[in-house]
Amino acid sequence: MKGGLGANVRGYKQTVSKFEEQIKRAEADTSEVNDDIDKIRREFDAAKQRFLEIPEALKAMPKMNPEGIYVNRGIRLDLIQVYGFDYDFTLVHYSANLQCLIYDLAKEHMVNEFKYPEVCMSFKYDPSFPIRGLYYDRQHGCLLKLDFFGSIEPEGCFYGHRQLSEKEIEEIYGTRHIGRDQARHLVGLMDFFCFSEACLIADIVQYFVDAKLEFDACYIYEDVNRAILHVHQSGPVITLSKDVKGEGKKIFLLTNSPYYFVDGGMQFLLEDSMDSRDSWRELFDVVIAKANKPGFYTSEHPFRCYDAEKDTLAFTKVDKFLKNKIYYHGSLKSFLQITKWNGPEVIYFGDHLFSDLRGPSKAGWRTAAIIHELENEIRIQNEDRYRFEQSSVAFVFNELLGRLHATVPSSKRSEAYKLLMYELNEERQKARSTMKRMFNTSFGATFLTDKGQESAFSYHIHQYADVYTSRPENFLFYSPETWLHAPCDIKIMPHHVKIRHNLPLAHLPDPFGGCAPSILSKVAAVAATPASRYRSGFPDIGTTITVVFR
């Protein structure tokens, strides 16, 4: 009995000893976690002090060229023999007032022809609301901004003009990621007309919601799209054309616009530079109007010769293209059979990633996307203020948040942890909001999400554009023998600059990401441009070798 009691006492003492050891280990772990939290807190406070003003190293970083050519897949211009152009918003640029005019004419058409309520006539175009690259959900009536992987931006979903919360987004879609079935209901707003189109869609949805009227979101899109299409159908050009033709190369115009629309625009554009009314057609080896892109690339429709004087189509078969003639309809298959122009020797310029460039890209043509917003977005990204927010806040606090999550297990998250987590999240959100408002108050940047990742629009540029730039005439700054090289790091859009979060703590990084000087000098020699064409303040080879900071 005594022996049994002694054994029990010894067992009890051993249990107490193990419990005490566990308590000591727990206290040691807690102390270690608290030390880690204190360390991250000190780094956070130190970072805020360091970034009270813009660091000199940040100011010294090179700037990207707003008028540069940015490369997804390398192109040797000396191998390009044929240059093709879309017309609207590619070869010809329009003033900002055009969007307002398109919007007003489209809403009038919807009221007069589609019998929409008269109150729609009071709607006003809001240039601050839309950006290019949005999606409209024909099932739910939402305008969406998607990221590179097809997920909805947390602050990029609007029902009418009301921004939906993350909770509302999940109630509608189940998750922020758009699945294959949901994607079938989405339509991309990708060309220059998309600004007035997105704004009119939002205005009409908002009207029906406010008036508590039932509506089918699909019908609204179809009606607005038809109205915009109805409106659409109702200097640098000469220089670029002569440069191209002076090298013995071919040039053609391929547009969905009717001839009278193209003719009026080209005459106005070139009235001080050409001798006669019709001489603009001499700039092109082939002129094709009403091509019905993107169907042009997959159909087998025949070409028809168009008589501009009689406004009629000829019945004779088109088996060759003649100078100063206008051709309607047709297909890529017939075009290649007639011209014998091989795919890789043709480059086509267009502003709509789907209608203009997806077909040529799949058919083997080289493609150049014309994105007018690129100039403004690059200028904003070049600003010290933008890079300051990007470097001093977004990246620093993203890293500290990640370390805090990884360091502190969920069972040991104290009040100190919660407070630091809250402060880091607040600073990160303020930085994102600041950068977003620099582009567009509703949807932010065209190419980037609020988190600094690529948007779905960027994804499609990766898919369908070998190169992209703001205007076709930017090619005038390059020799016809230039090799346009894709950058070494293609994980981001070539015109974006990665900024190290610890830039102020270190020397300015190698602006060429460690590329050998000998390689750079060779590329610079190939891609060199005349001094008269060089824009000071931008790297001379910044468009062929992207400046990437790792």
Calpha distance 362→96 (Å, rounded): 33
Residues in the chain: 550
Whether 66 and 374 have beta carbons less than 8 Å apart is answered as yes
Q: In this structure, how many other beta carbons lie within 10 angstroms of the beta carbon of residue 501?
A: 18
Q: Cα torsion at 332, 338, 339, 343 (round to 10°)? A: 40
If DSSP codes are grouped into helix, strand and coil, which group holds residue 194? helix
Residue 243 a catalytic site member? no
Dihedral (Cα; 390, 395, 401, 407), 10-degree rounding? -170
Say which DSSP state 516 is in: -
CA distance 271 to 268: 5
- Asked if residue 88 belongs to a known ligand binding site, the reply is yes
Strands 483-484 and 75-76, bridge-based pairing: antiparallel
Is 540 known as a binding-site position?
Answer: no
**One-letter amino acid of 16:** V
Q: Quote the CA–CA distance of 377 and 341 in Å, as a whole number.
A: 36
CB atoms < 10 A from the CB of 452, how many? 18
Q: Which residue has the tokens 């092109």?
A: 284
Across 202-340, where does the E strand assignment appear?
250-254, 286-289, 303-307, 312-313, 326-329
> Token match 């990437």: residue?
548
The DSSP line for 124-193 is ---TTS--TTEEEETTT-EEEEEBTTSBEEEEEEEETTEEPPHHHHHHHHSSSB--HHHHTTEEEE-STT
Catalytic residue among 38, 45, 78, 88: 88
Contact 76, 466 (CB under 8 A): no
Tokens of 226: 């038809």
Amino acid letter at 209? V
Strands (E), 346-447: 346-350, 366-370
Query: Around Cβ 437, how many Cβ atoms within 10 Å?
Result: 11
Beta bridge partners of 304: 328
With beta carbons less than 8 A apart as the criterion, state whether 264 and 231 touch. Answer: no
The single residue of 29, 35, 86, 384 carrying the catalytic annotation is 86
Measured between alpha carbons, how far is 141 from 336 in angstroms, rounded to an integer? 41
- Whether residue 88 lies in the annotated active site: yes
Beta bridge partners of 252: 84, 286
329 strand-pairing partners: 303
Instruction: Extract the tokens encoding 83.
Output: 């240059």
Q: How far is CA 290 from CA 63, 233, 258, in A?
A: 41, 9, 5
Q: What residues form the annotated binding site?
A: 86, 88, 351
Q: What residues form the annotated binding site for Mg(2+)?
A: 86, 351
Q: What residues form the annotated binding site for GMP?
A: 88
Catalytic residue annotation: 86, 88
